Structure 1
């Protein structure tokens, strides 16, 4: 299993509109590619010197190969849809490989 993590710092002036877009459009569009089994959106609770509000969005996928397929087939199209927020956010992407999972249950 792999996690495609996208950390985004969004300017406060567009935050509410962006958050609505993420929850109601972008994340559902990502899941609709069929390449991710789940998505988790988290607010980062550290104040950034540059201001803004930071989130980490984690998309779970079955393999590095599926993630590479997403990059080839879907990434550019989905990233283009963020144009209304261009210049109002910074994002960086990290690929994580799940080594083990534990639960208290």
Structure 2
């Protein structure tokens, strides 16, 4: 199983609206691509939150092929949509992990 992790630091000024958007719109949209079967949103603790909180959005794909399909067909559109909505009021980086049984 592949875990696609997006770590995001969000400015306090947009936090509440961003959090609602993530849970009600963005994350469900990624699941609806069919590439992921599960997602979860975690808030990092024991980190500096002076400028805003940090979250990890995790999406679970059954295979690397499904993850690759997401990257090839959907990722640019989803990333651009987020930047159009929130501009430079957040920063994000991606990592991809494999579950080890």
- Above 0.5 in TM-score? yes
- Give the deviation of 1:7 after TM superposition: 0.5
Q: What TM-score results when the alignment is normalised by the length of structure 1?
A: 0.90
* Larger Rg belongs to: 1
Distance 1:20 1:49, change over 3 A: closer
- Give the deviation of 1:49 after TM superposition: 6.7
Quote the Cα distance in structure 2 between the aligned partners of 1:57 and 1:49. 17
Q: CA RMSD in A?
A: 1.2
- Give the deviation of 1:79 after TM superposition: 1.1
1:92 aligns to what?
93
Quote the Cα distance in structure 2 between the aligned partners of 1:64 and 1:21. 27
Q: Which runs of 4+ in 1 moved over 6 A?
A: none
Name stretches of at least 5 consecutive residues in structure 2 with no aligned partner: none
**Secondary structure at the residue paired with 2:51?**
coil
Q: What TM-score results when the alignment is normalised by the length of structure 2?
A: 0.93
- Give the deviation of 1:77 after TM superposition: 1.1
Aligned length: 100
Name stretches of at least 5 consecutive residues in structure 1 with no aligned partner: 101-105
Quote the Cα distance in structure 1 between the aligned partners of 2:50 and 2:74. 30
Output one character per residue of 1:25-62: Cα deviation in whole Å (capped at 9) or x when no partner: 00010000000010010110122276211000110001
1:12 aligns to what?
12
